Structure 1
Amino acid sequence: MRLSLFICLFLLATVSLAQSPIHLIPQPVSVVPQAVGFTLTKTTAIVYSSPELATIAAGLSEQLTRPTGLTLAHRLAKSPAATAISLELIPTPDARLGREGYRLSSSAKGITISANNKAGIFYGVQSLVQLASPAMGKANQTIPGVQVVDYPRFAWRGVMFDVSRTFFPKSEVLRYIDELAQLKINTFHWHLADDNGWRIEIKSLPRLTSVGAWRVPRDGHFGERPDPKPGEPATYGGFYTQDDIREVVGYAQARNITIVPEIDVPGHSMAALAAYPNLSCSKDTSVRVNPGTQFSEWYADGTFKMLIDNTLNPADENVYVFLDKVFGEVASLFPGQYIHAGGDECYKGYWEKDPGCQALMKANNFGHMEDLQGYFMKRVEKIIQSKGKKLIGWDEIIESHDPNAQLSKDAAVMSWHGVKQGIDAAKMGYKVVMTPAPFTYIDYMQSDPTLEPRIYASLRLKTCYEFEPVPDGIDSTLILGGQGNLWSEQLSTFAHAEYMSFPRVWALSETFWTPKSRRSWAGFIPRLETQMRRAEAAGINYARAAYDPIVSTTNADGKLTLMLDCEIPDSEIYYSLDDTMPGRYSLRYTQPVLIPDGNVTLRTITYRNGQPSGRQITLKRDELVKRAKK
């Protein structure tokens, strides 16, 4: 009897070890491997328990075609079927799963995904698709045996996509939504209007798109481009018609994504003012949609000065008539509860000089310019509320000192400057989406500045992954969740947008979905590498920047010392200081290295499992000295 039991256990373990690893992103709440998985064949069917799951079943069939080469039939069935993939709504809801949770069971008898409603079924499907091997066209593929119980940590799991600075056509927006949905991202923050382009059709204000959607074409680094020339035609840009918007909204809804549209006011309004210059204090008719010139000066203390007026006039009633039209049409297109009204980086220098603004401040006994912005945002909130929506904005929207110029507690705050602003907002009783730039701005450089498109800050993959959205000492129920932000100043193609997004959005998706106790950087690495293979099979232009060497130096008592590191554990780092190309026969880094005097050049590269993994970094001695000073 004991021998038989031993043999059974041995065979069970052998089969289990033979399975493909269970590598899911985001990591589920519970994953229990089973001895035997389910083999997909051309006769496998997808059955679903309710007509409302038909679209999800069809989507699953399509998603499985790429890794398996199979096109699985799908049909309605009142109960799970043997040797099939069954999608089943739970007759008696499981309170622990909530709206978006699911259970997934894979065994030799078949695969079952069950949930309280179709949102959970959709997310169970995304996990199932990840369980399929990323190898293309692998028919008769076995899905690992597993029992998964899963539900999200946060209700708001978002990514912001800036289409103002760089316009992305509708087809690319739809592709990006697909890529986010597969990671269980459920909020798409669509940054539709800024200084560099107005991207949404407003039928009652046609100049917003006939003028505001177009700028003169420019290449080169954003913020350093030449000004428009007199009479130069504005040929770069584009916008989404209202029919386009409806199509994108419906596409996102089918993938359990809510779109939050953003119209950024009162600052960042140059595209709107190019179309309607009378809405600014300066009423400057020469303002054009900005093509990426330097139109502001930033100072070391974080303050700035606008060289061109890009701000709506809070003392002009025509501005509120304008915004009523804009937000009225926006509200009719987007069914979600929030409209984002921006509120960030509003330069108030033109307000300080404007007699109307000064009279308005005096009439309301405002003592600070922030109170005037508070007044403006409160007026905007009332407009948005009149359309049946709630206002959400960047953390500057609650900076007013005057209680009469503060928003209602129905408003929500996106904390972008840092974690502190989110803490302050929560302590004031506001709901908060945590999106602090040092952890979530995925437009920042993700590797060494010599390897990345130049921008003013860096954000490593590991930093994204280790972000904790709930600070200590605040009411966690006020933290709606978190969000990554992709600003597009330095993007020129959709492939580059993907490169900046992934794998950092993979990391953030786990930060927003997975219980804190289930997250670890070391545990993420093997799942990251599997996800990279999936991305390659899907044609997604992800970054391998986490494999690159990390170079730092110190300079003490005239001795320049080199330190090398890598985000990916178990990486081997090789280097040279003799002008030879580094490789696995070069010096291997094990401890800090004293850099010799003279005109030496560092070259360094990483290897993993005996193969080059990161890009080579080359730095001359003067650059190494500069890094020590920083």
Structure 2
Amino acid sequence: MLLRLLLVLLVSLHCVVARAQDSLINIIPKPVSVKSLAGSFALNNDVLLVYNNDSSQSIAQFFKESISISTGLRVNISHENQFIGKEKSIRFHLLGFRDNIIGSEGYRLQVHPTCIEISANNTGGLFYGMQTLLQLLPSEIESLKPVNRHSWSIPCVDILDYPRFGWRGMLLDVSRHFFPKEYVKKYIDYMSKYKYNVFHWHLTDDQGWRLEIKSFPKLTEIGAWRAPRMGEWWSQSPQYDGEPATYGGFYTRNDVKEIVEYAAARNITVLPEIDVPGHSMAALAAYPELSCLGGNFKPNVGDKFYKKIENSFCIGNECSFELMDSVITEVAEMFPGKYIHIGGDECHKGFWEKCPKCKARMKTDSISTLEGLQSYFIHRMEQLIVSKGKRMIGWDEILEGGLAPEATVMSWRGLKGGIEAANMGHNVIMTPDKYCYLDLYQGDPDVEYKTYSMNRLSTSYSLDPVPEGIDKKYILGGQGNLWTENIPNTRHLEYMVWPRAFALSEVFWTPQKNRNWDDFSRRMEVQLNRFDAAQINYAKSAYDPIIRVNKNYQGSYIINVTAEINGLDIYYSFEGPDPDSFYPKYSQPLEIPKGADTFKAVTYRNGKPIGKVVTLKIKDLDKRMRQTN
């Protein structure tokens, strides 16, 4: 009896220790397999970083630099031939054989009390293993200044990990608002921490041409600058003649080289996007002869112009193709990745319809529709790109009029374009706006900065990039897209990206069966602590009340309140002042009291407010019904 009781106590103790260890494992994206072990590894100056070749040495050096500021540690690095074996060590080991389980970007990470070993087939996998190791350290490791901490402890674990998809991208639009080189590098840094491997750089649009092209210097001399404006996008007054164009900037060839190399050191490929034939007003401002009808063009400042002013290349004018030949030649020289993104989206064709040169092109080349004219342009772009040794990617509009033979489709208008392209045997990158657009509302529009549609954190997390019935071999992966019309500065940029980029990183890396919303939201909170230490901004919109309005069978309005994060308490008021935990607690749908003109709700956890107060004016019930149903 005593022996049985002892066994029960030992098992219980083991479970408690395991749960305590598991609470320290808050990695995003979630690894394929994590086994918690007893004990911990103490990181201090006695630890030796060990490598086995030049590539693994670079990862060891990266790790040393990553921990140096916050910890103040000055650990040494040694080749394994000089490693005696008695010291506490962290080993960065590139395998001499192929481990088929982990593939090209996977890794194995084992933490024991006296030794840590990260092993991988390639440098990329070793880098990701190192990033996971950094996430096992306390949140203060991300601090930008020394932290007075008694010890830096790493829980003992055995991790096997590899990505679900090979393409895990993030887009940054630097055309609507220009972001300097140093911030682009910071953006890449945080992509790499969460195992993204493609930086999609949206370099040209109506509002600015951001890439130096030696053969056509006016693209940046004129196209990179516009008149300054502040306030809501699409509500601005147009730039007037003679107004100084002082807002903007561009990246030189040396800037590009520096950023490409910086990204490569973090296992990230840079995908350049030159968005044509539409979205080209900045290019037309530099070279008006590229247009159909001519005019006095200026880079757009945020005023409404679509369909009123030309913003597309003239397809009937051969100089459009001569310019693009030069542009693609220089882009191919600057960017070593195998893809160039050609845009192809949202191209208004009305001016082509009026253009004598476009009509002549259609007649000469037997093109019967305006969609066919765009397809003609895209096919020629692919020929150009292939002639430079690259492959072409375009938004799903490139399907219109017939898809170029080897094109890869980036599907943004839902999943439909990606499904169509995959069924045609083309590779697809899934980035549907409903799930992947990071410039959309992530909380109640009444308490968020103005944008135009909704994409909550839980919605991003719910994406499966492989639609049912599609051959998954054609789905390269997916990416999150940050368009910056309404994002004029870096603090707001970070607020819009995080934590939704956590969710998408897990969508693109972690096996579908391993994903769980409650588990993710718990781990996310630890990551947010790391962002606090690093002074990175983020949104807590997922903690805000979500107010929905319906009608019951009698036709009366009913208010429902939920939150994305489970386990929160919701308090509400129909009487003006902001509610707190002394107000009624929400438990079921609410009827509206007679005479009430305002409804307010707030979320609490553990007796403390955690979300914003969200307000609904009773006069706006019908509007809210349209928004939420």
Q: Partner residue of 1:511?
A: 507
C-alpha distance in 1 between matches for 2:394 and 2:626: 38
Q: Partner residue of 2:42?
A: 39
Do residues 123 (structure 1) and 128 (structure 2) align?
yes
Q: Partner residue of 1:273?
A: 284
CA deviation string 1:137-177 (max 9, x = no partner): 33422201100000000000001100000000001000000
The amino acid that maps onto 1:492 is: P
Q: 1:555 to 1:12 in 2, by over 3 A?
A: closer
Q: 1:560 to 1:73 in 2, by over 3 A?
A: same
Q: Partner residue of 2:310?
A: 309
Do residues 247 (structure 1) and 243 (structure 2) align?
no
The amino acid that maps onto 2:126 is: I
C-alpha distance in 2 between matches for 1:12 and 1:49: 36
Do residues 423 (structure 1) and 419 (structure 2) align?
yes
C-alpha distance in 1 between matches for 2:9 and 2:594: 66
Normalising by structure 2, we get a TM-score of 0.95
C-alpha distance in 2 between matches for 1:514 and 1:577: 43
Do residues 54 (structure 1) and 57 (structure 2) align?
yes
Q: Partner residue of 2:606?
A: 609
Which of 571, 580, 585 is 1:583 aligned to? 580
Q: Partner residue of 1:500?
A: 496
The amino acid that maps onto 2:486 is: Q
Paired residues for 1:192-591 under 5 Å: 192-284=203-295, 286-296=296-306, 306-401=307-402, 406-408=403-405, 410-556=406-552, 557-591=554-588
Q: Partner residue of 2:187?
A: 176
Contact 1:555–1:625, Cα closer than 8 Å, also in 2: no
Q: 1:600: how far off?
A: 2.1
Q: 1:398 to 1:585 in 2, by over 3 A?
A: same
The amino acid that maps onto 2:132 is: S
C-alpha distance in 2 between matches for 1:103 and 1:620: 54
The amino acid that maps onto 1:282 is: L
C-alpha distance in 2 between matches for 1:17 and 1:591: 34
Q: 1:588: how far off?
A: 0.6
CA deviation string 1:403-440 (max 9, x = no partner): xxx411x2100001011111001011110000011110
Q: 1:495 to 1:16 in 2, by over 3 A?
A: same
Task: Name the SS for the 2:478 alignment partner.
Answer: strand
The amino acid that maps onto 1:32 is: K
Contact 2:574–2:596, Cα closer than 8 Å, also in 1: no
Normalising by structure 1, we get a TM-score of 0.95
Task: Name the SS for the 1:88 alignment partner.
Answer: strand
The amino acid that maps onto 1:619 is: L
What root-mean-square deviation, in Å, do the aligned CA atoms of Structure 1 and Structure 2 show? 1.7
Q: Partner residue of 1:303?
A: none
Q: Partner residue of 2:593?
A: 596
Paired residues for 1:5-84 under 5 Å: 12-13=14-15, 15-19=17-21, 20-65=23-68, 68-78=71-81, 81=85, 82-84=87-89
The amino acid that maps onto 2:300 is: N
- How many residues matched? 615
The amino acid that maps onto 1:380 is: M
Q: Partner residue of 1:302?
A: none
CA deviation string 1:568-594 (max 9, x = no partner): 000111111112321111111110000
| Percent identity of equivalent pairs | 47
The amino acid that maps onto 1:36 is: G
Contact 1:40–1:139, Cα closer than 8 Å, also in 2: no
C-alpha distance in 1 between matches for 2:156 and 2:542: 31
Task: Name the SS for the 2:420 alignment partner.
Answer: helix
Task: Name the SS for the 1:208 alignment partner.
Answer: helix
CA deviation string 1:353-372 (max 9, x = no partner): 11121122122322221111
Q: 1:6: how far off?
A: 6.9
Q: 1:77: how far off?
A: 2.0
The amino acid that maps onto 1:275 is: A
C-alpha distance in 2 between matches for 1:162 and 1:567: 28
Q: 1:318 to 1:32 in 2, by over 3 A?
A: same
Which of 145, 148, 158 is 2:156 aligned to? 145
C-alpha distance in 2 between matches for 1:600 and 1:172: 46
C-alpha distance in 2 between matches for 1:558 and 1:217: 50
C-alpha distance in 1 between matches for 2:46 and 2:289: 66
- Contiguous gaps of at least 5 residues in structure 1: 297-305
- Contiguous gaps of at least 5 residues in structure 2: none
C-alpha distance in 1 between matches for 2:572 and 2:79: 61
Contact 1:555–1:629, Cα closer than 8 Å, also in 2: no
C-alpha distance in 2 between matches for 1:166 and 1:215: 10
Which of 611, 617, 620 is 2:617 aligned to? 620
Q: 1:92: how far off?
A: 1.6
Contact 1:80–1:86, Cα closer than 8 Å, also in 2: no
C-alpha distance in 2 between matches for 1:188 and 1:621: 45
C-alpha distance in 2 between matches for 1:208 and 1:381: 22
C-alpha distance in 2 between matches for 1:49 and 1:112: 12
Contact 1:177–1:252, Cα closer than 8 Å, also in 2: yes
CA deviation string 1:297-345 (max 9, x = no partner): xxxxxxxxx1110000111111111001101101101000000000000
